[in-house]
Structure 1
Amino acid sequence: MPHRTELYEDPPSACWPIVYSPDYNITFMGLEKLHPFDAGKWGKVINFLKVVICRCYNHRNPTSRLPAQFRGSEKSFETSTDPDRRNNNGKLAVERGWAINVGGGFHHCSSDKGGGFCAYADITLAIKFLFERVQGVSKATIIDLDAHQGNGHERDFMDDHRVYIMDAYNRYIYPGDGFAKRAIKRKVELEWGTEDTEYLQKVHTHVEGALNELRPDIIVYNAGTDILDGDPLGGLAISPQGIVKRDEVVFKAARRRRIPILMVTSGGYQKRTARIIADSILNLHNLGLIDKELATSGAGNPKVEQMIRDTAKDLTNLSLQ
């Protein structure tokens, strides 16, 4: 019997299961600008999604109010100020079939220590929460596609046969944790400057292989955007379109098998990262890979798609601030 807990709050059914809190964005008297990480990228992702979806909605319904899930402030999304709550959304993914935490993905932090900008082990927490408190969840697959090896969750699940780990990363960069690599069931070590064609072929092959080897009850997808060409820490050369396609590959594999998926955004250290994440979420929606009935049905409509492109241009300054 699952235990009662206060770590999880049920969001309204009218809201998309996209998790965000303004507390994600970090400010400290301007010193955050000296850090390679864009400390405000999560808010930029949400602002981009709000503007694009709401603009398209008004185009289709010129006399109507905004749809419920985008009305008001950031509270239109399922939010919480407690970091354990706001980053523990596996249950939400199980109930809805998918969930996206615009923050999260602290994959260098294990249960006993932090590392690499990661303060607590949210991936470990989410999976253990599901195993202990949600009936029907006894196996999990972690698909870690951040540019860095996810040594935190690997150390935590080293001897846990309920958890299957696939990890694709630049083999030459941090953390280079040889001990943690022993936990990886599918290890994809990439070379400096790996580009779209090779990368996407490997992602497709190994995601399919991983999910064929073990059919999990939940997928935790660590969707780092530090694979982007020009990222100062990732060392790979994937285009924005390649990142969008990568996320599509993973969600398609999950949807074909009807496996719930929780996506976290992890690393990404360029100003354009936020817009790419938002573009990817919109692409998943347009393809019907996430709840299409809760927002606009603009996919395939040339006028609506042109509005999305126009809005993306309008928000260029926002994404560069």
Structure 2
Amino acid sequence: PHRTELYEDPPSACWPIIYSPDYNITFMGLEKLHPFDAGKWGKVINFLKEEKLIADDLIVQAREATDEDLLVAHTRRYLNKLKWSFVVATITEIPPVAFLPNFVVQRKVLKPLRTQTGGTIMAGKLAVDRGWAINVGGGFHHCSSDKGGGFCAYADITLAIKFLFERVQGVSKATIIDLDAHQGNGHERDFMDDHRVYIMDAYNRYIYPGDGFAKRAIKRKVELEWGTEDTEYLQKVHTHVEGALNELKPDIIVYNAGTDILDGDPLGGLAISPQ
């Protein structure tokens, strides 16, 4: 494997919580043209700090994934496509991005996403070392090795798992539990025929992406109706998580925690309470 900075050990005093202020996308208000909140990661950290639950010196600083890191999952052709602003505009669903020079798009849009992707890869290694880890960003589950979409430009979940398989002895089976309100078609396409990866996906069956081909990779498909509420949701998640972990005993579990299942989310269409 290539030399990477993402697997260097962080200070032992740090908790396995990974974040960088570089995660947040702010650019002349353009980021507000999409209902996805591109500054939510900083809000999460600020909330935790205000509640005195975490401090800066306890957080592991995320590093940006390099091209070489990204090539562990991505094709060179795909990475080259991101040098076209209109391609990034399509992926992020923010049309005016198409009219910005690409060096601006790289710095203001793609660098934050690459840093979050580095954070997910780092979280994989930390979870093995410490028993658990959280990347405050990432979870770009609509991106596969050669195609982005739905605000996801890099396949961080695929990358984290491939890094572990390549570099960490004793990690040869992974389970993805994807509870974002949308179907995680990116990692599904990437691991379609890979028996080392077991995918459970719970999502609103009527919303984006509706990727029928990718659904073939899901070992446990939990298709939810509009407006699904707490009791039914929790019961289904509990039953299927238990079933998934009984079917395959993984060496690593990747949990993609979408906040869009919350009642009132403009995109998710589910009705889960904050409790």
Does the TM-score normalized on the shorter chain lie above 0.5? yes
Q: Which residue of 2 aligns with 1:19?
A: 18
Identity score, percent: 89
Corresponding position: 1:79 with 2:112? no
Runs of 5+ in structure 2 lacking a partner?
65-114
Contact 1:146 1:226 in 2 (8 A): yes
Amino acid at match of 1:226: D
**In the alignment, is residue 129 of structure 1 matched against residue 163 of structure 2?**
yes
Q: CA-to-partner distance for each residue in 1:18-48, whole Å, 9 max, x for gaps?
A: 1111111110112222321112111111111
Q: Is the Cα contact below 8 Å between 1:149 and 1:176 reproduced in 2? A: yes
Give the drift of 1:75. 5.3
Distance in 1 (CA, whole Å) between partners of 2:189 and 2:216 is 9
8 Å CA contact 1:3, 1:133 repeated in 2 = no
CA distance in 2, matches of 1:197, 1:124: 31
**Considering only aligned residues, what root-mean-square deviation do their CA atoms show, in Å?**
1.4
State the distance in 1 between where 2:63 and 2:249 align: 33
Alignment of 1:213-252 (within 5 A): 213-241=247-275
Gaps of 5+ in 1: 55-68, 242-321
Q: How far has the Cα of 1:14 moved from its partner?
A: 1.1
After TM superposition, give the deviation of residue 12 of structure 1 in Å.
1.2
Query: Under a length normalisation based on structure 1, what TM-score does the superposition of the two structures give?
Result: 0.67
- Tell me how far apart the structure 2 counterparts of residues 130 and 208 of structure 1 sit (CA, whole Å): 24
Conservation of the 8 A alpha-carbon contact between 2:200 and 2:220: yes
The 4+ residue runs of structure 1 with deviation greater than 6 A are none
Count of aligned residue pairs for this structure pair: 223
1:204 maps to 2:238: yes
How many angstroms does 1:5 deviate by? 3.2
Give the whole-Å Cα distance in 2 for the aligned partners of 1:85 and 1:232. 28
Partner SS state of residue 219, structure 1: strand
Indicate conservation of the 8 Å contact 1:8/1:85, yes or no.
no
Using the alignment, how far apart are the partners of 2:154 and 2:4 within structure 1? 19
| Cα deviation code 1:218-264 (max 9, x no counterpart) | 000001010000111100000001xxxxxxxxxxxxxxxxxxxxxxx
Matched, 1:147 2:181: yes
Q: Which has the higher contact order (CA 8 A, sep 6+)?
A: 1
Secondary structure of residue in 2 paired with 1:233 = coil
The whole-number CA distance in structure 1 between the counterparts of 2:2 and 2:149 is: 31
Counterpart AA for 1:135? Q
In structure 2, what residue type is equivalent to 1:87? T
For residues 81 and 189 of structure 1, what CA distance do their matches in structure 2 show? 35
1:107 corresponds to which of 126, 136, 141: 141
Deviations 1:57-98 (A, max 9, x none): xxxxxxxxxxxx72xxx4541013412422212011110100
Aligned pairs (5 A) from 1:1-321: 5-53=4-52, 70=55, 74=56, 76-82=58-64, 83=115, 84-88=117-121, 89-241=123-275
